[in-house]
Amino acid sequence: MAFPSTYSVGITSLGYQVIWATLSQRKDVDVRRLFTDQSERSHKESDLFGISVSWELDSPKILELIEKEGIALWSKDRRNNDPIVFGGGPVLTANPEPLAPFFDIILLGDGEILIPNLIEAVKQIKSLGREQKLETLAQVPGIYVPSLYQPIYDKVGRLIAIEPKLSNIPKTITKQTWTGENLSHSTVISPQAAWPNIHMVEVVRSCPELCRFCLASYLNLPFRKATLEENLIPAVEKGLAVTRRIGLLGASVTQHPEFSDLLKWLETDHFNDIHLSISSVRASTVSLDMTKLLNKRGCKSITIAIESGSKKIREMINKKLSEEEIFAAAKYVAEGGLKKLKLYGMIGLPTEEIDDIKATTDLLLMLKNKTPGLRLTLGLSTFVPKAHTPFQWQRVDKNAKKRIKEISKILQSQGIEVRPESYNWSVIQALISRSDRRLAPVIALVRQSDNTLGNWKKAYKSIQEKNNFINCEKLPDWEEVIFETWSTSRLLPWEHLEGPLKKTTLIKHQLVALNQNV
Tell me the H-state helices in 95-244: 111-124, 130-137, 215-218, 233-240
Determine how many CB atoms are found less than 10 A away from the CB of residue 44: 5
Instruction: Please give the pLDDT value at position 195.
Output: 85
Lowest mean pLDDT among 235-244, 412-421, 467-476: 467-476
Interval 34-93: pLDDT, tens: 999 999 988 889 999 999 999 999 999 999 999 999 999 999 999 999 999 999 999 999
β-strands 159-164, 149-153 pairing: antiparallel
| Angle (deg, nearest 10), helices 423-434 and 453-466 | 30
Neighbour tally for 183: CB within 10 Å = 23
Please provide the average confidence, as pLDDT, over all residues in the chain: 94
pLDDT in tens, 280-290: 899 999 999 99
Band of residue 160 on the pLDDT scale cut at 50, 70, 90: very high
> Is the pLDDT confidence value at 472 over 70?
no
Confidence of residue 518 (pLDDT cuts 50, 70, 90): very low
CATH of domain 187-279: 3.30.750
* Band of pLDDT at residue 270, cut at 50, 70 and 90: confident
Residue-level pLDDT at 446: 96
- The pLDDT of residue 448: 86
Q: Could you write out the DSSP letters of every residue in 78-99?
A: --TTSPEEEEESHHHHH--GGG
Looking at the structure, give the CATH architecture of the domain made up of residues 302-518: 2-Layer Sandwich (3.30)
C-beta separation of 93 from 219 below 8 A: yes
**Domain range annotation of the chain:** 7-174, 187-279, 302-518
One fold for both 187-279 and 302-518?
yes
Per-residue pLDDT of 210-234, as tens digits, reads 999 999 999 999 999 999 999 999 9
pLDDT tens digit string along 167-185? 999 999 999 999 887 899 9
* Triad 63, 68, 70: Cα angle to 5°: 105
Q: Are the beta carbons of 4 and 66 closer than 8 angstroms?
A: no
Confidence label for 395 from pLDDT (cuts 50, 70 and 90): very high
Which residues are CB-neighbours of 133 under 8 A, at least 6 positions away? 84, 122, 125
Per-residue pLDDT, 350: 97
The yes-or-no verdict on residue 392 having pLDDT over 50 is yes
Q: Which residues contact 327 (CB under 8 A, 6 or more apart)?
A: 366, 367, 370
Q: Global pTM?
A: 0.95
Helical segments of 276-386, H only: 288-296, 311-316, 323-335, 354-370
Whether the predicted pLDDT of 344 surpasses 70: yes
